[in-house]
Chain A
């Protein structure tokens, strides 16, 4: 069964440092996403990405966040200057290949646990 792969599984960083979270989506998917889940809270949408540009972003996704698809397989989330409140599980997801993503559902990775100290 195709998987969405995320690395690293755990990341500890000092406040103010930059972090890059990496994801390899399912190869024939066209839509890519980042979600996060603060401990004990619901899964929240951060950003969606299609055709090499951001389709939509939430109010959480401010100027400290950026996404990139640097090659044909990787999809990254960068946090420029981490804050304590950025500590969370970050999930990458992909969907597709066609339109009407709700019919296909989303495949999530296992997540990166980011701890900012």
Chain B
């Protein structure tokens, strides 16, 4: 059983569409991070959410941390081809270990 379950695993949409991807767990977290990874590159931090119910916006990206701090979502409005990538959620499972989910591979078609 994965500590973090991300869904969907794959998502292919047209430019201009909206989408939401999810990161779920049965455990409670003190914080959660979202990253985007492009092919041949390392993950790039998008946001850290800390407070239950917190909503953070990064341009067209909206991140939400669940009230119970067990889940999080990432919503992208009016997707662009540059949003294509692997979206990873990650949590610190100990003081110094970041554990990632399997990721959602997003493809935005022109």
**A residues near B, CB below 8 A?**
4, 31, 33, 35, 42-45, 48, 50, 55-56, 58, 89, 91, 93, 101-111, 113
Interface range, B side: 20 to 34
Q: Is the CB of B102 within 8 A of A108?
A: no
For the complex, give the distance between the alpha carbons of A113 and B41 in Å: 10
What are the interface flags for B68-108 relative to A under an 8 Å C-beta threshold, 1 for contact and 0 otherwise? 00000000000000000000100110111111111100000
* A-chain residues with CB within 8 Å of residue B48 when the two chains form the complex: 102-105
Q: Are A42 and B102 in contact (CB under 8 A)?
A: yes
**A56 adjacent to B88 (CB under 8 Å):** no
With A102-B91, A102-B92, A105-B33 known, 4 other A-B pairs at CB within 8 A are A55-B96, A102-B33, A103-B31, A104-B48
Q: Known contacts A101-B92, A108-B43, A111-B42; decide if A45 and B99 are in contact (CB<8 Å).
A: yes
Residue on A nearest B103 in the bound complex, by CB: A42
- Chain A CB within 8 A of B28 CB: no
CB nearest neighbor in B for A58: B97
Q: Which residues of chain A come closer than 8 Å to B31, judged between CB atoms?
A: 102-103
A-B contact pairs, 9 of them (CB 8 A): A56-B95, A102-B48, A103-B31, A103-B48, A105-B45, A106-B33, A110-B40, A110-B41, A110-B42
A31, A56, A109, A110: which contacts B94 (Cβ < 8 A)?
A56
**Given A42-B100, A48-B96: A111 touches B40 (CB 8 Å cut-off):** yes
CB-CB under 8 A from A110, the residues of chain B are 40-42
B100: which A residues are within 8 A, CB to CB? 42-44
Counting CB contacts under 8 A, is B50 at the interface? Answer: yes
Minimum CB–CB distance from B110 to chain A (whole Å) comes to 25
In the assembled complex, the Cα of A93 lies from the Cα of B91 at a distance in Å of: 15
Complex Cα gap A103–B91 (Å): 11
Smallest CB separation, B24 vs chain A (Å):
16
Tell whether B11 is near chain A: CB-to-CB under 8 Å.
Answer: no
**What 0/1 pattern do residues 20 to 45 of B give for CB contact below 8 A with A?**
00000000001101000100111111
- Count chain A CB atoms within 10 A of each CB in B41, B97, B100, B101 and give the residue with the most: B97
